[in-house]
Chains A and B, each alone.
Chain A
């Protein structure tokens, strides 16, 4: 079964550094998402992306965050200057048709020290 894949599985970075989290959505999917889960808490929506532009973003997704689909397969989340509170699991998700269920990757654990 096709999967959403994310790399790396764990990223450790120092406060103030830039990080790029990478995702390869399912190949024929059109809608892409990033979600975040702080340890022990619920999964929170960050941003959705369709047709090469952001569709919607949450209040968490401030100017430090950006997303990009640099080619036909990758979807990236960049955090320009990481803060301690950015430490979390970051999940990429995708779906094919509008209103079809999301498929999640296994996440990247970001640790900011």
Chain B
């Protein structure tokens, strides 16, 4: 089946640093979504991308839909402690989403 690849599994950064996360696939997708999950909660949508090459920002977050439609990245600038969590990329067609395995982000104060 379709798979979304996210690595590494964990990232550790210092408060104030920028961080970039990648998501790749061997399949072409028409939508890329980035979600954040905090302990005990459901995934929360951060950014949705619908067009190849699209670059979208949401506060300190910026995400891009790759031109090949097989990848996307998420940048977080000037990280703060509350950025900790698991960041999932997701994509899919029609009625269901496929999620990546997620990247756990830790921010050291």
Count of chain A residues with a beta carbon within 8 Å of a chain B beta carbon: 24
Q: A99-B31, A101-B33, A101-B48 are in contact. Are A43 and B43 (CB under 8 A)?
A: yes
A50–B95 contact, CB under 8 A? yes
Q: State the CA gap A104–B38 with chains docked (Å).
A: 13
Contacts of B40 in A (CB 8 A): 106-107
A106–B41 contact, CB under 8 A? yes
- Does B42 lie at the interface of the complex (its beta carbon under 8 Å from any beta carbon of A)? yes
Q: State the CA gap A33–B108 with chains docked (Å).
A: 36
Which of B12-20, B52-60, B70-78, B99-107 is the contact stretch? B99-107
Q: Give per-residue flags for A94-106: 1 if the beta carbon is below 8 A from chain B beta carbons, else 0.
A: 0000010111111
Q: A43-B88, A99-B31 are in contact. Are A56 and B41 (CB under 8 A)?
A: no
Q: State the CA gap A55–B45 with chains docked (Å).
A: 23
A102–B45 contact, CB under 8 A? yes
Contacts of A65 in B (CB 8 A): none
Contacts of A50 in B (CB 8 A): 95
Of the listed residues A93, A104, A105, the one surrounded by the most CB atoms of chain B closer than 10 A to its CB is A104
A48–B96 contact, CB under 8 A? yes
A45–B42 contact, CB under 8 A? no
A53 to chain B, nearest CB (A): 12
Contacts of B98 in A (CB 8 A): 45
Q: Can you list 11 A-B contacts with CB-CB less than 8 angstroms, sorted by A residue number? A: A33-B95, A41-B101, A43-B99, A45-B98, A50-B95, A91-B43, A99-B31, A102-B45, A104-B43, A105-B42, A106-B41
Task: Please list the residues of chain A having a beta carbon within 8 angstroms of any beta carbon in chain B.
Answer: 4, 31, 33, 35, 41-45, 48, 50, 55-56, 58, 91, 93, 99, 101-107
Task: Please list the residues of chain B having a beta carbon within 8 angstroms of any beta carbon in chain A.
Answer: 31, 33, 35, 40-45, 48, 88, 90, 92, 94-102
